[in-house]
Chain A
Amino acid sequence: MLRLSLRRRRQLLPYLFLGPGLLWLLIFFLVPLANQAYVSLQTGDPEAGYVFGWHFSTYTTALSDYHTQILRSFGYAGVATVLDLVIAFPLAYFIAFKAGRFKNVMLLLIVMPFFTSYLVRTVSWQLILSDNGWVVGRLRDVGLLSSGGRLLATRTAVIAGITYNFLPFMALPLYVSLEKVDRRLVEAATDLYASRTTAFRKVTLPLALPGVFAGSLLTFIPAVGDYINAALLGTPNQYMIGNVIQAKFLNILDYPTAAALSFLLMGVILLAILLYARALGTRSLTEAAAA
């Protein structure tokens, strides 16, 4: 064991902590990804082979061909994320502040549906929402649906499916950051004559923002690339960019376009993350809170 000074050890510490995980990602994510970048700049077909040639036109063609699906994906994922935030926030708040010793039970309940398969859950929704089923029947009675209306194979169904499947990704990070809010800060605020709402707005909410940030990203980002909900619950008019990439990759074997689309997607998502982080001002908030 090297005799390093405490200061030196502290300097090395972040690299030690970061190292193993980063190495794993570098080998098993970055290297394959770099290869995909290489592929995206190739042209060719599966028979004759692919040739590398800085073909940036693949990107521009992909963008012009599929901008509808890209925008649609962002739209659906965005709506689903907002819905998830609305549904999950009170739930996470309740678990963090009011659930007491049932905390872990409720957390586990949120995640449990995941232990059946994604496909099984979505097929179950197909059964529940079928045109002649109970749910659609009652919606028609109430007038929310026209008499020939349906829920399946619509945009509503796809967004509902995405919302449903990504709810735990929003709820858990929200809980995690709400749970650490010190109750006494809130009490202090109310002692200083703030109303409960003001206390919530000025104390709890800012402290919970890291959770909102994390939850929205963990929901939004994978949702944009989702394909199964659109495939099972929608029509071709609802198909998302994930479906396009899937088809290009598996059915048409057009690897350059599939790779190009993936990078376009990633680029836009990264941009969105940066803007979102700036909007929430997360970093400056946490610095202030820690001071």
Chain B
Amino acid sequence: MKPYDDIDRVVERMLDGHEHSRRQFVRVLAGAGLSVSSAGLLAACGGVKGESSGKKASASVRHPKVPIGQWTFSNWPLYIDKSVLKAFDKKYGGHVQYIEDINDNFEFFGKVRQQLSRSQPIGRDIVVLTDYMASRWVRDGFVTAIDQANVPNMVNLVDNLKNIAWDPKRNYSLPWQSGAIGIGYDRRLTGRKLHSIKDLFDPKFKGRVSFLSEPYDSAGMVMLMQGVDSTKASLTQIMNAIDRIEVAQKAGQIRRFTGNDYTTDLAKGNLWAAMAYSGDLVQLKADNPHLEFVYPDEGSMQFTDNMMMPAKAAHPYAAETMMNYVYDPQVAAKIADYVNYISPVKGIKDILLKSDPKVASNPLIFPPANIVARLHPYPSLSPADERSMEDRMAQVVGG
């Protein structure tokens, strides 16, 4: 797929335009800052007061139409066809600054938490976060409500995602892509077909296996292997699963804990089997046909990444226009064709059957019904439980 158009002159003009439209405010520190009393300064820093201020963003809101200027869209890497952004700019004017700076939900949250808890803008108009982090932001009032009048294409949202416990009317979030966690492996190196999560613990693959560092993913899968319904898991069951992972790590079974970066190792043969995200394998197979992805027999964890507007976002209308744009089935089909994850938009399979039948018939992108029945969403945990889980997993992962 050729993601770039030939518009050098436009680019050059845009490069210059950026400098002029940027405004930087810096208050003189000598006067304002240094005269702040030290006690006040210290108390205000470091987030002394709790972050859940209890106030939820108001559910009904109007964002009137304004010209779209420069706005910012933060997303995970390799999660969009860049030509979609160019087409959007062309159609609606302005320029979307697209930054792929979300690599891990907690890492991103850790970076912007201070601004959020002080009700200050984080410089982003759309962020894309996985369910467990999205629900936290909604609960803590870190998001701006969506003016659904600006997003009529919302009706195209697939039925099973229309309601979700933490955002029943989709007032604050809109799914971006879904995916499943399974096993990616090199058929040549493993010597056989894999089909179960237990295969990751096969001593024959010692030191050649990777797990995901996020416990929602890893512990979730291991719990499925242990016969527990991950969606309804208790903290004890989660901790048991992490214990099981720790045993394997200490025995040298697990080579690494990764985020998305198992891809290099898998492609190079450093890893024989990896706990992997479905979308990555579609692309990896293009370079290395020996790689396979399997939805394990016991089931798979399903994740959904959601678009949200952070609180105090400066350009909500632009953000909503983009949300509406990507829910147009034509555009959604284009994105799915590039990203190869499970799209939340209805009706794109038919479009793709005509334009790219290989993608349309790919079970990783359009899983058949029996697979869908085995997909498990994440459990919803209290913040304290979530922290215990992350802490325990960090000990295993070495952090």
Query: A239-258 CB contact bits vs B (8 Å, 1 = yes)?
Result: 10001101111111111000
Chain A binder among B43-51, B167-175, B360-368: B43-51
B46: which A residues are within 8 A, CB to CB?
35-36, 38-39, 42, 50, 255
Do A251 and B399 touch (CB < 8 A)?
yes
Closest to A240 in B: B398
Given A249-B110, A255-B46; A46-B396 close (CB under 8 Å): no
Give me the interface of A with B, judged by CB distance under 8 Å: 27, 31-32, 34-36, 38-39, 42, 44-52, 69, 123, 126-127, 130-133, 150, 152-153, 230, 232, 235-239, 243-244, 246-255
Closest-CB distance, A137 to chain B (whole angstroms): 12
Query: B142-168 CB contact bits vs A (8 Å, 1 = yes)?
Result: 000000000000000000000000000
Q: Which residues, 211 to 255 on B, are CB-close (under 8 Å) to A?
A: 249, 254-255
Given contacts A130-B269, A236-B398, A250-B106, 20 further A-B contacts (CB under 8 A): A44-B50, A45-B383, A45-B384, A46-B47, A46-B113, A49-B47, A50-B48, A126-B264, A130-B265, A133-B268, A152-B270, A236-B249, A243-B398, A246-B399, A251-B394, A252-B387, A252-B394, A253-B113, A253-B387, A255-B47
- A39, B46: Cα distance in complex, Å: 6
Do B398 and A237 touch (CB < 8 A)?
yes
Do A251 and B106 touch (CB < 8 A)?
yes
B297 at the interface (CB under 8 A from A): no
- A39, B114: Cα distance in complex, Å: 14
Q: Could you name 10 residue pairs across A and B whose Cβ atoms are closer than 8 Å?
A: A35-B42, A36-B46, A46-B113, A47-B383, A47-B384, A130-B268, A132-B270, A150-B207, A243-B399, A253-B113
Give me the interface of B with A, judged by CB distance under 8 Å: 29, 34, 41-42, 45-52, 104, 106-107, 109-111, 113, 207, 249, 254-257, 261, 264-265, 268-270, 383-384, 387, 390-391, 394, 396-399
Do B264 and A127 touch (CB < 8 A)?
yes
Instruction: Pick the residue among B207, B264, B269, B390 that contacts A252 (CB under 8 A).
Output: B390
B383: which A residues are within 8 A, CB to CB?
45-47
Instruction: Pick the residue among A34, A123, A150, A238 that contacts B264 (CB under 8 A).
Output: A123
- A153, B269: Cα distance in complex, Å: 13
A48: which B residues are within 8 A, CB to CB?
50
Do A131 and B110 touch (CB < 8 A)?
no
Q: Which of B34, B110, B255, B398 has the most chain A CB atoms closer than 10 A to its own CB?
A: B398
Given A50-B47, A251-B399; A150-B29 close (CB under 8 Å): no
Closest to A232 in B: B261
Do A252 and B391 touch (CB < 8 A)?
yes
Do A35 and B45 touch (CB < 8 A)?
yes
B106: which A residues are within 8 A, CB to CB?
250-253
Closest-CB distance, A81 to chain B (whole angstroms): 23
Do B268 and A49 touch (CB < 8 A)?
no
Q: Looking at chain A's contact residues, is the secondary structure mostly helix, strand, loop, or mixed?
A: helix
Closest-CB distance, A29 to chain B (whole angstroms): 14
Do B50 and A49 touch (CB < 8 A)?
yes
Do A236 and B50 touch (CB < 8 A)?
no
- A243, B107: Cα distance in complex, Å: 13
B265: which A residues are within 8 A, CB to CB?
126, 130, 152
Instruction: Pick the residue among A27, A38, A46 that contacts B42 (CB under 8 A).
Output: A38
Do B399 and A131 touch (CB < 8 A)?
no
A127: which B residues are within 8 A, CB to CB?
264, 268
Instruction: Pick the residue among A34, A45, A150 that contacts B270 (CB under 8 A).
Output: A150
A238: which B residues are within 8 A, CB to CB?
398
Given A34-B42, A50-B47, A153-B270; A251-B384 close (CB under 8 Å): no
Closest-CB distance, B36 to chain A (whole angstroms): 10
- A48, B387: Cα distance in complex, Å: 13
Do B398 and A251 touch (CB < 8 A)?
no
Do B51 and A153 touch (CB < 8 A)?
no
A254: which B residues are within 8 A, CB to CB?
391
Closest to A152 in B: B270
A249: which B residues are within 8 A, CB to CB?
110
- A276, B207: Cα distance in complex, Å: 40
- A232, B51: Cα distance in complex, Å: 33
Given A130-B269, A250-B106; A153-B391 close (CB under 8 Å): no
Instruction: Pick the residue among A52, A236, A250 that contacts B257 (CB under 8 A).
Output: A236
Do A251 and B268 touch (CB < 8 A)?
no
- A36, B41: Cα distance in complex, Å: 12
Do A131 and B391 touch (CB < 8 A)?
no
A126: which B residues are within 8 A, CB to CB?
264-265, 268
B34: which A residues are within 8 A, CB to CB?
27
Q: Which of A44, A45, A133, A250 has the most chain B CB atoms closer than 10 A to its own CB?
A: A250
Closest to B249 in A: A236
Given A35-B41, A255-B46; A235-B107 close (CB under 8 Å): no
Given A35-B46, A46-B47, A153-B255; A247-B394 close (CB under 8 Å): yes
Closest to B259 in A: A231
Closest-CB distance, B105 to chain A (whole angstroms): 9
- A44, B113: Cα distance in complex, Å: 16
